[in-house]
Amino acid sequence: MRTRRTMLALSAGTLCLSGCGAPGGSGGSLGIETSDATAAPGETATIEVQASSVGVMTWQLAEIPESWQVTHEGFEPEPTAVRESYPPELVWDPVADSVTGSLAIAVPDDASTGEYTLAVEAGTDTSDERVVSEATVTVAG
């Protein structure tokens, strides 16, 4: 049985191979990296995000409770659109060669200590190819 992680790895490998020697375009490949963050209850955890050849970016709360507020901040270049959906989507049209910014997670005062995962996904928005980076948010008491 194939897992989501296996399928994502296969997709990323296919993307890397399909971009080799392709004429035109930036020549870059789709990629995303996130940092981990630590915050106490009542504070804000900030996850730094770097992506390449991205047209759309989204995040899913995975292990983070739905009541926790996640906002995007300081993305350069700024997204050309924000789709207010679940999960929310940041859109760059045309595809951006390089994007940096952060996701701020407001940790509620009554949050339990522990580690939580935020999955951040990037794609070109013109194909089904996606890559995922998982950030760990540590809530320390």
Q: Look at residue 4 in the predicted model and tell me its pLDDT.
A: 41
Query: What's the whole-number mean pLDDT along residues 62-70?
Result: 83
Cβ(108)–Cβ(87) below 8 Å: no
Q: Look at residue 27 in the predicted model and tell me its pLDDT.
A: 52
Average pLDDT value for the chain = 83
Is it the case that residue 121 has pLDDT exceeding 90?
A: yes
Q: What tens digit of pLDDT does each residue of 71-82 get?
A: 999 999 999 999
Show contacts of 90-95: CB within 8 Å, 24+ apart: 90/56, 90/57, 90/58, 91/55, 91/56, 91/125, 92/54, 92/55, 92/56, 93/55, 93/125, 94/55, 95/26, 95/53, 95/54, 95/55, 95/124, 95/125, 95/126
pTM recorded for the entire structure: 0.78
